[in-house]
Structure 1
Amino acid sequence: MAEQFTELDKLKETLRANHETADKHLEHVSRQDVLTRIERIIQTVVSSVSKNEAPVLSVINRSNWANVRFHKSVGLILQPDASVTAHRCDCPSSANKFALILKLLSVIYKLVQSDSYATKRDIYYNDPQLFGSQKTVDSIVDDISCMLKVPRRSLHVLATSKGFISGDLCYLEEDGTKVDCSSSTTATPVSSNVSGIRNIVSFAKFILIVEKDATFQRLLDDDFCIRLSPCIIITGKGMPDVNSRLMVRKLWDTLHIPVFALVDADPHGIEIMCIYKYGSVSMAFEAHSLTVPSVLWLGLLPSDIQRYRVPEEALIPFSQTDERKINSLRSRAYITCQPAWEREIEEMQRLKWKAEIQSLASIAPYFLTRVYLPNKLRYGGWI
């Protein structure tokens, strides 16, 4: 097994030597600090009312690309002078948002004060008519986290995870529950409280991020973690949730091992990989705890389509949406700073074809797990 992973072992040693052990995550904030920051906001509102003025809550525009900048060793981070949107209680277009922010600040204050936790789903179902949708709760909780400049976990609001993990990994949950992810047939849901995980034990040589649940299940069914053991595989089931991203970051910080991405050779797959690696615009305020800048693109590379002679009938022609997305990707700083990635994206745009990971099955049923991935890992076929 040691001979199989010559290039992987070299990479692992390089990463161990270069990994920054200093924790640069968003500052740890005590419960009292969170309460104090909420009280300051409420005092501002009360002060405005006492002066017979309309209270205003300013929220950073988390969807605006102009509010972020690219830092190569971190990813997309929030600009210090990010623009804000003012939500006034006397303005019909923003009064509802103003009220919902105050409502959630009240909920969060009580949770932090009592040292208890609730999921975003719990909060929504406590008053679904008030919030209107789960998406509204999710967005405002992130707005408040950004407004208070604290990690979302400090708000005592948890999110239900959608991701799964499997492989050579054991750890303890915050409540002392032992979790063993080594089952070869059943995946373990990603924890909804990643920050509380402790006592991580693993002899994994690498972590493999898998874009799709279907591919993840295929790796499980073919005993991938046993055949190429020890390793850890994780999926966010498409566009990753925050917990899946937190988990990848925590494992990277703890184990100091290579992290690879296995995504479709299409613009959507590349963007998902970039979110794990460099983060997203909407969560740029918490980039230090969510991004893993050392993520390597293992596959499916656009150049692999011709290299492995994937049959044309297994390919999918580009759509106008794909063209727009790929042009958007090519303009982003985190792509233009990586010539190898840029060449692969240019190749995809030139071919006008995209390929899902499952297209490798058209070559042979077990080609992905028994040929493609072992060869990539053995000979260093990543960028």
Structure 2
Amino acid sequence: MQVYKAFFKVIQKNRAQILIYLVVFMALALILSGAYNPPQDTDFTKVKVNIAFINDDGDSQLVAGLKTYLGENANLVAIPDETQKLQDALFFRQVEYILRVPAGFTEDMLNGKEVQLEKTTVPDSTSNIYMDLLINKYLNTVKTYTTYLPGLSQDDLSQNLEKDLAEQSKVTMISNGTHSIYAEKSGYYFNYLSYSLFAILILGVCSVMLVFNDTDLKRRNLCSPIRSANMNMQMVLGNLSFAILTWLVLISASFIMYGSFMFTATGLLLLLNSFVFTLAVLSISYLIGNLVKSRGAMSAIANVFALGTSFISGVFVPQELLGANVLTIASFTPTYWYVKANNEITAAVSFNTGNLSSIFTSMVLVLAFGVAVLGVTLVLIKQRRVES
């Protein structure tokens, strides 16, 4: 296993560069994990709007019923019927909706005529729409009674309105499960893992390939008693060992920070996705290692690939905030599909055929990237061998 040992001796000599990316990743993971705030409860809660109710129609049971109904669903604020004071109240948000009942409202409603209430509201506000819905509900209910029971007295009409409008639908929220507090945290962790993994594998593999692809050393190796097939097998074993060792080191912190969560379905899928991504990155690193000619180029390419793919694929900026053109370009990189799978894994409350098929499709695409790049690399190596 001379080649295998030599592989890790070269890695050992380049440990300083590799450790930089490892330390940066661990620091980012700890900082982001500490700074993360869990999402607030997004359950629906009813909020009452401040409104002003002005009656120009005089006292009637119909107007009193409208005022009572609105008072149950909004806060009635007493404001003098003066233009300046009403405008000031609206401007300073003492009220968000001013409703004026015009003269003749009760008579027109009882006779089945069209009526138009006057309103002054905060432009483009949700409270405006909400109050319109409440008022229309009341008026439409009145219109239904006056249309089909035209001789109904105001007393009977008010009683029926109060009974009908008091009816409410019961809403039950059904959920298949709840998110763990570590779900989104671990998603950020494994997304950032792609940056360090890319940089470390490129630097490690390229540093070894630069040594073994040296012309003089290659000629000396060909003269050695070790067969070429055995030498290549040890080189492949060295690359796989280095990639798996790097993966184990990078994921080790997740077990410390998230504990037993990593043994849940979500945690295991994140680990599987990161391992598949490791194989794809190893394949890309092997191709780059057979193309670079100098250490300066090696460092530059490592930074370009690690940072570039991270920025456009959703590692540093969430994918939902990136433009369509950027995501189209990013879809030609394995990092995009890796991050996409991570996001789907952490967003799922439970796993079923639908979301699992999408997750595994992304993993297969990542693996396909690795196989395709490996094929190109083998063709390149064979072509060089023939030319030599």
Structure ranking higher in strand proportion: 1
Q: Max radius of gyration: which structure?
A: 2
Query: What TM bracket, shorter-length normalisation?
Result: under 0.3
Structure ranking higher in helix proportion: 2
TM-score, length basis structure 1 = 0.25
TM-score, length basis structure 2 = 0.25
